[in-house]
Structure 1
Amino acid sequence: MRDVAAASGVSQATVGFVINDTPTQTISPATRERVLRAAKELGYVPHAIARAMREGSSRIVVLNVDARLEGNYSRSYISGLDDELALHEHILVVKHGHPTDESTAHLTHMVSPRAIIDFAANYSSGNELADGGWTDGLAAHTAIQMGHLADCGHRRLAMALPEHQTAFARAREEFARQAVERLGLPPLVSVAMPEPDAGGVETLRAFLRDEPVTAIAGFTDEVALRVLKSAAALGVRVPGDLAVIGYDATAYAALSSPGLTTVHIDAEAHGRRAARRVLGLTESGLIAAPAHVVVRESV
C-alpha cells in the first residue's frame, strides 16, 4: 500500500478507501483511477487475512445445503448467490451435509465467514419474501404442484415424503395441506415412501388399498420416481390409475417411463437477494422467474 500510495501521489489511507470502495469516503474519479492504475501496475492484491482482521470477518459466505435437495432451485440459487457475492468481492463456499452447532462453531473459528446461510431454512421459512413464501417461495411452489393436479380433475390428493423426516419435509407437507384446503379439496394424506427395493412396493400397495387417492405429489422428483417404479411393479397404470407429479425438475424426471411431470423453479433472484441481504445491500429490483409445471405423461 505504501508503494501504491507513493506511485499515485496520495496517502495510504486514500489507497485503502479506493481499494475497499469505502462508501463513506468521497474520492474524485481522477484520483480513484490513478490509484487503481498504480495498484494494477504494481500487482497489488489486498491481503485477505489482514483485511479480515480489520473488518472482523473474512469475505467468505458459507451456504449449508443438503445434497438431497439438489435440483433446479438449489442450482439456480447457488448460481445467483455466487455471482452476486463475486460482484462485491466475496467468495461462496458450499458445505454439504447436516450442520450442527459444533460444526458451525468450528467453521466460524476456522474461516471467520461473513455469514452462514442455511439453504433449507431460508427457503422453507419464507425468509426470501415477507409473505412467508406464498408469492414466490416454498409455499407458492408447493401450491403450484397441488394446483396442477386439481386442474387435471383430481380431488383426492396425497404427498409422498422421504422416509426420514426433516424440518424442510415437514414444511413442504404443511404447505401442501394448506394448498389443498385452499382448493376446497378433501384433506391431504401422506405416505413415507422408501426405495422400491427397500419396501416401497409394499408401502404403496398398502397405501393405495387404504386411501382412495387418484394422484400423488412427490416431495422431490426422486421420491416421485420411487412412486412410479413401485406403481409399475404393482401393475398400477400411470396416469390411468394414478397420476404422479414431481418437484424441482431434475434431469432424471425426463428419463422415466412414463415421463415425470414436475415443477420447474428458477431461484437465481433468490440467491442474489440472499447475497445482498448478508452484505447489507438493498434487495430491490430482483424479480424471480415464475415457477411453472413441466408437463409430461405421468399426470
Structure 2
Amino acid sequence: MTLSDVAAASGVSRATVSFVLNDDPNQTISPTTSDRVRQAARDLGYVPHGIARALREGSSRIVVLNVDWGLEGNYSRSYIRGLDDELAAHDHVLLVRHGHCAPHSTQQVLDTIAPRAVLRFAAHLTGHEPGAAGDWRAGFAANAALQIRHLADRGHTHVAMALPDHDSPLLEVRLRLARETVSTLGLAPLTSFVVPRPRTAGTSAVKAFLAAHGTVTAVAAFDDDIALRTLTALHDLGLAAPDDLAVIGFDDTEYGALVTPALTTVRIDAEVHGRLAARAALGLDPAGLSPAPGRIIARDSA
C-alpha cells in the first residue's frame, strides 16, 4: 500500500496524507480529516517506506546505542528500557550494539542506515553526552556516592575500592567520584586494589591488600561482580563480612541476593535517564522528567 492508496481511500490529496501521517507541524489539518486519513491507513495496513522517508528527512528514524562490554547490568537495562520506550513514543526505533565499537564499524552503521543519532552508554555515565546523568543530585555521581555514605553511616572511616582486572570506561570516573565523596565526608584517603580472576588470584589479591592496609574496615566494590569476588576471597581466607570486612556492591544484580552473606548493594532505576537521552537525541523538551535517586539494598554484607 502507498500514500496514493491511502489518499484515494480517505478522499484527500496525497500531500494531505503525508502531512497527517508525518505530523507536520507547519500544516493545519482538521481533526475530522486527520482521523479519516489515519483510519484509512489502518484499514489498508499502510506501512511507511523507511528508505524513502530517510531520503526525505536526511536520516532514518533509528537511534543507535553502543554499550561497552562490562557495562551490562540493572542500570543499563533500565536505561535502555526508558530510551526505547521514549523513542517509540516519538516514532523512532532503538538499535543496541554491545561490545567495543571500532570507528570503522560505527562508520559502516552510519553509511548503511543513516541513524538519527549514535549514543554511547559510557559517555552518558561519564557526563560527555547530552542528557548525561553525571550530577550529584539524582544522577550517576549521586548514586556512586551512596556506596561510601552507607559505609560512613555505619562508622567506617577507612574505606577501599575494589576494582576489576579489565579496562572499563568507568574506572577513572568511579574512582574520582569515590575520592570526592570520601573527602567531603572527612574520611581517610581512599585506597584501591584489583580483585582479579581466577578465584585463587582474587583470594591472593585480597589477602595481600589486607596485610598492607590493616586500617581498612570496608570495601566499596566497582560492581556486584567484584563485590562477590571479594566475599569469596574472604570466605577462602577464613574471614567474614561484615565482621572482618564490610563489603558493598553496585548495580544490584540478581546474584547478590543468592550468596551468604547476602550482598548489600546500590540499586539504580535509570529509566528516566534513558528517556532524557532520547529527548536530547531528538531535540525535544525534557520538561516533566525527573530522575529517581538510587537506593541502598541493605542486606548482610555491610
TM normalised by structure 2 equals: 0.95
Unaligned runs of 5+ in 1: none
Structure 2 unmatched ranges of 5 or more: none
1:253 alignment partner, one of 241, 253, 256? 256
For the residues of structure 2 that align with 1:207 and 1:187, how far apart are their CA atoms? 15
Q: Is 1:13 matched with 2:15?
A: yes
Structure 1 equivalent of residue 233 of structure 2: 230
- Tell me how large the CA RMSD over aligned residues is: 1.5
- Of 169, 172, 180, the residue aligned with 2:171 is 169
Q: Name the SS for the 2:70 alignment partner.
A: helix
1:172-191 to 2 correspondence within 5 Å?
Answer: 172-191=174-193
Compute the displacement of 1:279 (Å).
1.0
Determine whether 1:219 maps to 2:227: no
Q: Could you tell me whether the CA contact under 8 Å between 1:142 and 1:172 is conserved in 2?
A: yes
- Which of 70, 81, 85 aligns to 1:68? It is 70
Match of 1:282 in 2: 285
1:20 positional shift: 0.8
Deviations 1:8-34 (A, max 9, x none): 222211111111111222211011011
- In 2: Cα distance, 1:196 partner to 1:4 partner: 63
SS of the aligned residue for 1:140 comes to helix
Instruction: Give runs of aligned pairs for residues 1-299 of structure 1, distance below 5 A.
Output: 1-125=3-127, 127=129, 132-197=134-199, 199-211=201-213, 212-299=215-302
1:67 Cα deviation after fit: 4.0
Q: Distance in 2 between matches of 1:162 and 1:5?
A: 60
Residues 157-166 or 2-11, more deviating: 2-11
Q: Is the 8 A contact 2:69 2:100 kept in 1?
A: no
Shift in alpha-carbon separation, 1:112–1:130, aligned structure 2, 3 A: closer
**Bigger mean CA deviation after superposition, 258-267 or 33-42:** 33-42
Q: How many residues align?
A: 299
The C-alpha deviation readout for 1:20-72, integer Å capped at 9, x for no partner, is 11122221101101111221222211101111111111111111112422222
Cα deviation 1:150-183 (Å, max 9, x = unaligned): 0010000000111123331111111111111111
The alpha-carbon deviation at position 126 of structure 1 amounts to 6.7
Deviation at 1:129, TM superposition (A): 5.8
Q: TM-score, normalised by structure 1?
A: 0.96
Question: CA shift at 1:6, angstroms?
Answer: 2.3
Deviations 1:201-228 (A, max 9, x none): 1111111111121000110000111100
1:94 deviates by 1.0
Query: In structure 1, the residue corresponding to 2:170 is in which secondary structure?
Result: helix
